[in-house]
Amino acid sequence: MNGMMNKMNKRVLFIYNPHAGKGNIKSKLSDILEIFSNADYEITVQPTKYKRHAKELVSEKGTEYDLIVCSGGDGTLNEVTDGLMLLENRPHVGYIPTGTTNDFASGLNISKNMIKAAHTTVEGEDFPYDIGSLNDDFFTYSAAFGAFTDVSYGTPQATKNVLGRLAYILEGVKRIPSIKSYHLVVEHDGETIEDDFIFGMITNSTSIGGFKGLSGKKVILDDGLFEVALIKMPQNPLDLQLIISSLVLRDPNAKYIYSFHSNEIKITSKEDLPWALDGEFGGEFKEMTIRNHKQAVTFRRDKKVPTIK
Protein backbone atom coordinates (compact mmCIF):
# COMPACT_ATOMS: atom_id res chain seq x y z
CA MET A 1 0.00 0.00 0.00
CA ASN A 2 1.40 3.40 -0.82
CA GLY A 3 1.14 6.54 1.31
CA MET A 4 -1.84 7.87 -0.60
CA MET A 5 -3.86 4.70 0.07
CA ASN A 6 -3.12 4.90 3.77
CA LYS A 7 -4.59 8.36 3.94
CA MET A 8 -7.93 7.17 2.53
CA ASN A 9 -9.38 5.89 5.76
CA LYS A 10 -12.01 8.46 6.68
CA ARG A 11 -15.48 7.77 5.33
CA VAL A 12 -18.18 10.28 4.46
CA LEU A 13 -21.80 9.49 3.64
CA PHE A 14 -23.15 12.29 1.47
CA ILE A 15 -26.96 12.37 1.46
CA TYR A 16 -28.69 14.99 -0.68
CA ASN A 17 -32.24 15.80 -1.63
CA PRO A 18 -32.06 16.37 -5.42
CA HIS A 19 -35.36 18.29 -5.35
CA ALA A 20 -34.67 20.64 -2.43
CA GLY A 21 -34.86 24.32 -3.23
CA LYS A 22 -34.65 24.58 -7.01
CA GLY A 23 -32.45 21.51 -7.44
CA ASN A 24 -29.39 23.80 -7.60
CA ILE A 25 -27.19 21.16 -6.01
CA LYS A 26 -26.98 19.30 -9.34
CA SER A 27 -24.61 21.77 -10.98
CA LYS A 28 -22.30 21.77 -7.95
CA LEU A 29 -22.05 18.04 -7.28
CA SER A 30 -18.66 17.47 -8.87
CA ASP A 31 -17.08 20.41 -7.03
CA ILE A 32 -18.52 19.24 -3.73
CA LEU A 33 -17.24 15.68 -4.18
CA GLU A 34 -13.82 17.05 -5.03
CA ILE A 35 -13.77 18.96 -1.73
CA PHE A 36 -14.48 15.73 0.19
CA SER A 37 -11.87 13.87 -1.85
CA ASN A 38 -9.21 16.55 -1.29
CA ALA A 39 -9.89 16.23 2.44
CA ASP A 40 -9.03 12.51 2.07
CA TYR A 41 -12.49 11.08 2.55
CA GLU A 42 -13.75 7.89 0.94
CA ILE A 43 -17.13 8.95 -0.39
CA THR A 44 -20.54 7.28 -0.51
CA VAL A 45 -23.17 9.36 -2.32
CA GLN A 46 -26.90 8.83 -1.90
CA PRO A 47 -29.59 11.07 -3.41
CA THR A 48 -32.82 10.71 -1.42
CA LYS A 49 -35.60 8.86 -3.22
CA TYR A 50 -38.59 9.46 -0.97
CA LYS A 51 -39.74 11.06 2.29
CA ARG A 52 -37.97 9.60 5.36
CA HIS A 53 -35.28 8.03 3.14
CA ALA A 54 -32.59 10.18 4.76
CA LYS A 55 -33.64 8.96 8.21
CA GLU A 56 -33.50 5.32 7.08
CA LEU A 57 -30.06 5.74 5.56
CA VAL A 58 -28.63 7.32 8.70
CA SER A 59 -30.22 4.95 11.20
CA GLU A 60 -29.23 1.87 9.18
CA LYS A 61 -25.75 2.82 7.98
CA GLY A 62 -24.69 5.88 9.95
CA THR A 63 -22.25 4.13 12.28
CA GLU A 64 -20.15 2.97 9.29
CA TYR A 65 -19.09 6.58 8.64
CA ASP A 66 -16.96 9.23 10.33
CA LEU A 67 -18.96 12.06 8.83
CA ILE A 68 -22.43 12.45 7.39
CA VAL A 69 -22.91 15.38 5.07
CA CYS A 70 -26.48 16.27 4.40
CA SER A 71 -27.73 18.60 1.71
CA GLY A 72 -31.29 19.79 1.32
CA GLY A 73 -33.74 21.97 3.17
CA ASP A 74 -34.67 21.93 6.82
CA GLY A 75 -36.86 18.86 6.19
CA THR A 76 -33.95 16.69 5.06
CA LEU A 77 -31.77 17.92 7.90
CA ASN A 78 -34.53 17.07 10.36
CA GLU A 79 -34.67 13.52 8.96
CA VAL A 80 -30.91 13.10 9.29
CA THR A 81 -31.10 14.25 12.92
CA ASP A 82 -33.98 11.82 13.55
CA GLY A 83 -31.86 8.96 12.21
CA LEU A 84 -28.80 10.01 14.21
CA MET A 85 -30.73 10.16 17.48
CA LEU A 86 -31.49 6.43 17.07
CA LEU A 87 -27.74 5.68 17.11
CA GLU A 88 -25.59 5.41 20.21
CA ASN A 89 -22.32 6.41 18.55
CA ARG A 90 -23.17 9.30 16.31
CA PRO A 91 -20.92 10.39 13.47
CA HIS A 92 -20.40 14.13 13.09
CA VAL A 93 -22.61 16.04 10.67
CA GLY A 94 -21.93 18.60 7.99
CA TYR A 95 -24.73 20.53 6.30
CA ILE A 96 -24.94 22.09 2.87
CA PRO A 97 -28.21 24.05 2.82
CA THR A 98 -30.15 24.11 -0.45
CA GLY A 99 -33.76 24.55 0.70
CA THR A 100 -35.82 27.68 0.43
CA THR A 101 -35.72 28.22 4.18
CA ASN A 102 -32.52 27.44 6.00
CA ASP A 103 -33.09 28.65 9.51
CA PHE A 104 -30.85 26.09 11.03
CA ALA A 105 -27.90 26.96 8.79
CA SER A 106 -28.01 30.65 9.63
CA GLY A 107 -28.13 29.76 13.33
CA LEU A 108 -24.81 27.95 12.91
CA ASN A 109 -23.40 30.49 10.50
CA ILE A 110 -23.19 27.94 7.70
CA SER A 111 -22.91 29.67 4.32
CA LYS A 112 -25.76 29.61 1.80
CA ASN A 113 -23.04 29.29 -0.83
CA MET A 114 -22.87 25.54 -1.44
CA ILE A 115 -19.14 25.42 -2.11
CA LYS A 116 -18.31 27.42 1.03
CA ALA A 117 -20.67 25.21 3.05
CA ALA A 118 -19.00 22.09 1.59
CA HIS A 119 -15.61 23.38 2.77
CA THR A 120 -17.08 23.91 6.24
CA THR A 121 -18.26 20.28 6.37
CA VAL A 122 -14.65 19.07 6.21
CA GLU A 123 -12.66 22.03 7.55
CA GLY A 124 -15.08 23.57 10.03
CA GLU A 125 -15.01 23.23 13.77
CA ASP A 126 -17.01 20.66 15.69
CA PHE A 127 -19.95 22.13 17.55
CA PRO A 128 -21.98 19.90 19.89
CA TYR A 129 -25.57 21.04 19.43
CA ASP A 130 -28.67 20.52 21.56
CA ILE A 131 -31.41 18.41 19.97
CA GLY A 132 -35.03 18.53 21.07
CA SER A 133 -37.58 15.76 21.30
CA LEU A 134 -41.36 15.89 21.35
CA ASN A 135 -42.50 12.49 22.61
CA ASP A 136 -40.74 10.14 20.13
CA ASP A 137 -39.81 12.68 17.44
CA PHE A 138 -36.83 14.98 17.26
CA PHE A 139 -36.27 18.57 16.16
CA THR A 140 -33.21 20.70 15.63
CA TYR A 141 -34.45 24.24 16.16
CA SER A 142 -38.16 24.61 16.79
CA ALA A 143 -41.32 22.96 17.99
CA ALA A 144 -44.47 25.09 17.70
CA PHE A 145 -48.09 24.37 18.55
CA GLY A 146 -51.38 26.03 17.90
CA ALA A 147 -53.86 26.70 15.15
CA PHE A 148 -51.17 28.74 13.49
CA THR A 149 -49.14 25.60 12.79
CA ASP A 150 -51.90 24.36 10.45
CA VAL A 151 -51.15 27.32 8.24
CA SER A 152 -47.42 27.12 8.64
CA TYR A 153 -46.53 23.72 7.29
CA GLY A 154 -46.58 23.57 3.55
CA THR A 155 -45.98 27.29 3.23
CA PRO A 156 -42.25 27.57 2.67
CA GLN A 157 -42.02 31.19 3.71
CA ALA A 158 -43.64 30.55 7.07
CA THR A 159 -40.66 29.69 9.20
CA LYS A 160 -38.68 32.69 8.00
CA ASN A 161 -40.35 34.74 10.67
CA VAL A 162 -42.70 32.65 12.74
CA LEU A 163 -43.89 35.43 15.00
CA GLY A 164 -44.31 37.86 12.12
CA ARG A 165 -46.44 35.27 10.37
CA LEU A 166 -48.49 34.73 13.50
CA ALA A 167 -49.02 38.47 13.80
CA TYR A 168 -50.24 38.48 10.19
CA ILE A 169 -52.67 35.63 10.85
CA LEU A 170 -54.04 37.26 13.99
CA GLU A 171 -54.38 40.51 12.10
CA GLY A 172 -56.71 38.67 9.72
CA VAL A 173 -58.84 37.36 12.57
CA LYS A 174 -61.68 39.80 12.90
CA ARG A 175 -63.40 38.42 15.98
CA ILE A 176 -61.98 36.92 19.17
CA PRO A 177 -64.32 33.85 19.07
CA SER A 178 -62.83 32.79 15.75
CA ILE A 179 -59.38 32.34 17.29
CA LYS A 180 -58.72 28.74 18.20
CA SER A 181 -57.38 28.33 21.71
CA TYR A 182 -56.25 25.30 23.69
CA HIS A 183 -56.68 24.83 27.40
CA LEU A 184 -53.31 23.55 28.56
CA VAL A 185 -51.53 22.49 31.71
CA VAL A 186 -47.83 23.24 31.29
CA GLU A 187 -45.35 21.86 33.80
CA HIS A 188 -41.71 22.91 33.89
CA ASP A 189 -39.01 23.23 36.53
CA GLY A 190 -41.41 22.56 39.41
CA GLU A 191 -43.94 25.15 38.17
CA THR A 192 -47.39 24.50 36.76
CA ILE A 193 -49.19 26.94 34.47
CA GLU A 194 -52.82 26.40 33.49
CA ASP A 195 -54.29 28.72 30.90
CA ASP A 196 -55.84 29.08 27.44
CA PHE A 197 -53.20 29.44 24.76
CA ILE A 198 -53.35 30.22 21.05
CA PHE A 199 -49.75 29.50 20.20
CA GLY A 200 -46.51 28.29 21.70
CA MET A 201 -42.96 27.97 20.52
CA ILE A 202 -40.06 26.04 21.97
CA THR A 203 -36.88 26.97 20.24
CA ASN A 204 -33.17 26.45 20.15
CA SER A 205 -32.42 28.89 17.41
CA THR A 206 -31.48 32.53 17.20
CA SER A 207 -32.75 32.90 13.67
CA ILE A 208 -36.38 31.91 13.33
CA GLY A 209 -37.76 35.29 14.11
CA GLY A 210 -38.15 34.43 17.74
CA PHE A 211 -37.93 36.89 20.54
CA LYS A 212 -34.26 37.63 20.53
CA GLY A 213 -33.16 38.55 23.98
CA LEU A 214 -36.51 37.47 25.42
CA SER A 215 -35.00 37.00 28.82
CA GLY A 216 -32.28 39.57 28.38
CA LYS A 217 -29.93 36.81 27.23
CA LYS A 218 -29.15 35.50 23.77
CA VAL A 219 -30.24 31.99 22.87
CA ILE A 220 -27.33 29.64 23.41
CA LEU A 221 -27.38 26.60 21.18
CA ASP A 222 -25.50 24.16 23.42
CA ASP A 223 -26.54 25.03 26.99
CA GLY A 224 -29.19 22.31 27.31
CA LEU A 225 -32.02 24.84 27.62
CA PHE A 226 -34.80 25.87 25.28
CA GLU A 227 -36.36 29.27 25.01
CA VAL A 228 -40.11 28.90 25.49
CA ALA A 229 -42.83 31.43 24.57
CA LEU A 230 -46.52 30.71 25.17
CA ILE A 231 -49.12 33.17 23.92
CA LYS A 232 -52.32 33.45 25.91
CA MET A 233 -55.81 33.69 24.45
CA PRO A 234 -56.77 37.36 24.06
CA GLN A 235 -59.88 38.29 26.08
CA ASN A 236 -60.95 41.33 24.09
CA PRO A 237 -60.05 43.25 20.92
CA LEU A 238 -57.57 45.47 22.79
CA ASP A 239 -55.72 42.40 24.13
CA LEU A 240 -55.60 41.03 20.58
CA GLN A 241 -54.16 44.29 19.28
CA LEU A 242 -51.53 44.40 22.03
CA ILE A 243 -50.50 40.80 21.32
CA ILE A 244 -50.15 41.60 17.62
CA SER A 245 -48.01 44.68 18.32
CA SER A 246 -45.81 42.79 20.71
CA LEU A 247 -45.28 40.08 18.06
CA VAL A 248 -44.47 42.62 15.38
CA LEU A 249 -42.05 44.42 17.69
CA ARG A 250 -40.74 41.11 19.05
CA ASP A 251 -41.07 42.58 22.47
CA PRO A 252 -42.92 40.11 24.66
CA ASN A 253 -45.65 41.60 26.80
CA ALA A 254 -45.65 39.61 30.04
CA LYS A 255 -49.40 40.02 30.44
CA TYR A 256 -50.09 37.95 27.32
CA ILE A 257 -46.96 35.93 26.84
CA TYR A 258 -45.30 33.48 29.20
CA SER A 259 -41.60 33.17 28.46
CA PHE A 260 -38.95 31.12 30.20
CA HIS A 261 -35.95 28.83 29.70
CA SER A 262 -36.25 25.12 30.42
CA ASN A 263 -34.84 21.71 29.53
CA GLU A 264 -38.05 19.74 30.02
CA ILE A 265 -41.65 20.81 29.52
CA LYS A 266 -44.70 18.62 29.99
CA ILE A 267 -47.93 19.72 28.33
CA THR A 268 -51.38 18.21 28.81
CA SER A 269 -54.30 19.16 26.58
CA LYS A 270 -57.92 17.96 26.63
CA GLU A 271 -58.01 17.94 22.84
CA ASP A 272 -55.38 17.01 20.27
CA LEU A 273 -52.78 19.74 20.03
CA PRO A 274 -51.18 20.06 16.55
CA TRP A 275 -47.42 20.66 16.28
CA ALA A 276 -44.93 21.79 13.70
CA LEU A 277 -41.40 20.47 14.20
CA ASP A 278 -38.73 22.45 12.35
CA GLY A 279 -41.54 23.98 10.29
CA GLU A 280 -43.14 20.69 9.17
CA PHE A 281 -46.21 18.91 10.53
CA GLY A 282 -45.18 17.01 13.64
CA GLY A 283 -48.37 15.25 14.75
CA GLU A 284 -51.15 15.91 17.27
CA PHE A 285 -51.07 14.86 20.92
CA LYS A 286 -52.99 15.19 24.18
CA GLU A 287 -49.97 14.50 26.36
CA MET A 288 -46.51 15.56 25.38
CA THR A 289 -43.09 15.89 26.88
CA ILE A 290 -40.53 18.11 25.23
CA ARG A 291 -36.94 17.41 26.22
CA ASN A 292 -33.61 19.01 25.46
CA HIS A 293 -30.89 16.48 24.66
CA LYS A 294 -27.87 18.55 25.52
CA GLN A 295 -25.08 18.53 22.91
CA ALA A 296 -26.49 15.33 21.36
CA VAL A 297 -25.32 15.89 17.78
CA THR A 298 -22.02 17.41 16.71
CA PHE A 299 -22.29 19.68 13.68
CA ARG A 300 -19.50 21.24 11.68
CA ARG A 301 -19.79 24.99 11.64
CA ASP A 302 -17.74 27.80 10.21
CA LYS A 303 -14.71 28.51 12.38
CA LYS A 304 -15.35 32.18 11.92
CA VAL A 305 -18.71 31.96 13.69
CA PRO A 306 -18.97 34.83 16.14
CA THR A 307 -19.19 33.48 19.66
CA ILE A 308 -22.63 34.16 21.14
CA LYS A 309 -21.84 33.23 24.71
Ligand X SMILES: Nc1ncnc2c1ncn2[C@@H]1O[C@H](COP(=O)(O)OP(=O)(O)OP(=O)(O)O)[C@@H](O)[C@H]1O
Does residue 246 bind ligand X (CB under 6 A)?
A: no
Among residues 13, 21, 95, 246, the one that binds ligand X under rule CB under 6 A = 21
Is the Cα dihedral 156, 161, 167, 168 positive or negative?
negative
Going residue by residue from 82 to 111, which x/- string records binding to ligand X, judged by CB under 6 A? -----------------xxx----------
Which DSSP letter does residue 278 get? T
Beta carbon nearer to ligand X, 144 or 184: 144
Beta carbon nearer to ligand X, 162 or 233: 162
Transcribe 124-160 into DSSP letters: SEEEEEEEEEETTEEESSEEEEEHHHHHHTT-TTGGG
**Contact criterion met (CB below 8 Å) for 290 and 130:** no
We find the least distance from the C-beta atom of residue 251 to ligand X, in angstroms, to be 28
Q: Which residue is nearest to ligand X (CB)?
A: 73
We find the least distance from the C-beta atom of residue 77 to ligand X, in angstroms, to be 7
Over 208-259, what HEC string results?
Answer: CCCCCCCCCCCCCCCCCCEEEEEEECCCCHHHHHHHHHHHHHCCCCCCCEEE
Identify any residues that bridge with 144 across adjacent strands, giving them in sequence order.
Answer: 201, 276
We find the least distance from the C-beta atom of residue 21 to ligand X, in angstroms, to be 5
We find the least distance from the C-beta atom of residue 153 to ligand X, in angstroms, to be 10
Among residues 62, 73, 146, 209, the one that binds ligand X under rule CB under 6 A = 73
**Contact criterion met (CB below 8 Å) for 45 and 12:** no
Residue 60 among the catalytic residues: no
Does residue 62 bind ligand X (CB under 6 A)?
A: no
Which DSSP letter does residue 207 get? S
CA distances from 176 to 117, 219, 251, 273, 284 (A): 46, 32, 22, 20, 24
Among residues 7, 49, 218, 255, the one that binds ligand X under rule CB under 6 A = 49
Beta carbon nearer to ligand X, 17 or 292: 17
Does residue 76 bind ligand X (CB under 6 A)?
A: yes
Does residue 51 bind ligand X (CB under 6 A)?
A: yes
Distance of CA 220 to the CA centre of its chain: 14
Catalytically active residues, by annotation: 280
Interface residues with ligand X (CB under 6 A) are 17, 19-21, 48-51, 72-76, 79, 99-101, 156
